[in-house]
Structure 1
Amino acid sequence: MSLFDRKIRGFRLVDVVALGVLVAMILVVYLAKTMAGSERAEIASIERQIEAEKVRIRLLQAEVAHLEQPARVEALATAHLGMAPVEAKRETTIDKLGEVALGKPKS
């Protein structure tokens, strides 16, 4: 009696093994699809988070651009710190910085 002709409860052994392999393949494909679906949902969630962060970055960049406007900074420096532009007579060259640091009079 050959392996292909052997019967188990009226079914050939090859048919029983093939049915077992088929059921195992169906289960593996089902599990793979389920896991892929959950990962797809996770990827979509992460992509939404990335888009939200990009929007937040654009808002922060716009806020920084507004806060760094030279006219605004000058107005704040004048109003709150009492700062003013440097007068021309107080300007010096790089060569004269040593003299200024030592407190020597300007020549």
Structure 2
Amino acid sequence: MSLLDRKVRGFKLVDVVALGLLAALVLGVYLAKTIAGRERAEIARIERQIAAERGRIRLLEAEVSHLEQPARIGQLSQAYLGMVPATAKNEATTEQLDEIAEKAAKAKPKAAAPAKPAIAAPPPPAAVPAAPVLEAGQ
């Protein structure tokens, strides 16, 4: 009697093996489909997260462009630092720089040079008031 003709409980051994392989194949396909569905859901979640981050990046870029507007910076520098635009009378050409430097040197009284300390301390930082921060909707 050959192996293919052998019977197990009334079924041929080949039929039992084929049924087992079919069951394993069905289970494998089901598991693969389930895993693929989970992966699809994870990909969709990550794509939504990327879209939200891109929206936030656009919002931050708009806020930066608002904060960097030259007119706004000019107003803040005048209000908080007391800076004013240079007038035409304050402008100088490169040829006039030597004359200006000589006048500035003559205007300063020459005092006795103080003794140099062994280690010079750095100058204290100037206090600069913080500019107001605008919220996203302003």
- TM-score bracket for this pair, using the shorter chain length: 0.7 to 0.9
1:104 corresponds to 2:92: no
CA RMSD of aligned residues (A): 2.2
The runs of at least 4 consecutive aligned structure 1 residues that moved more than 6 Å come to none
Q: 1:105 Cα shift?
A: 1.8
Unaligned runs of 5+ in 1: none
Q: Which residue of 2 aligns with 1:62?
A: 62
Q: Which residue of 1 aligns with 2:13?
A: 13
Taking only the aligned residue pairs, the percentage that are identical comes to: 66
Provide the rounded CA distance (Å) in 1 between the counterparts of 2:93 and 2:61.
Answer: 36
Q: Which residue of 2 aligns with 1:25?
A: 25
Provide the rounded CA distance (Å) in 2 between the counterparts of 1:75 and 1:68.
Answer: 12
CA deviation vs aligned residue, 1:4-41 (integer Å, no higher than 9, x gap): 21111111111010000000001101111111111111
1:75 corresponds to 2:75: yes
Unaligned runs of 5+ in 2: 104-138
CA deviation vs aligned residue, 1:50-74 (integer Å, no higher than 9, x gap): 0100110111111111111111110
Q: Quick check: 80-89 or 2-11, which moved more?
A: 80-89
One-letter amino acid of the structure 1 residue matched with residue 62 of structure 2? A
Q: What secondary structure does 1:105 align onto?
A: helix
Quick check: which one's helix share is greater? 1
Q: 1:92 Cα shift?
A: 4.7
**Equivalenced residues, count:** 101
Provide the rounded CA distance (Å) in 2 between the counterparts of 1:70 and 1:29.
Answer: 63
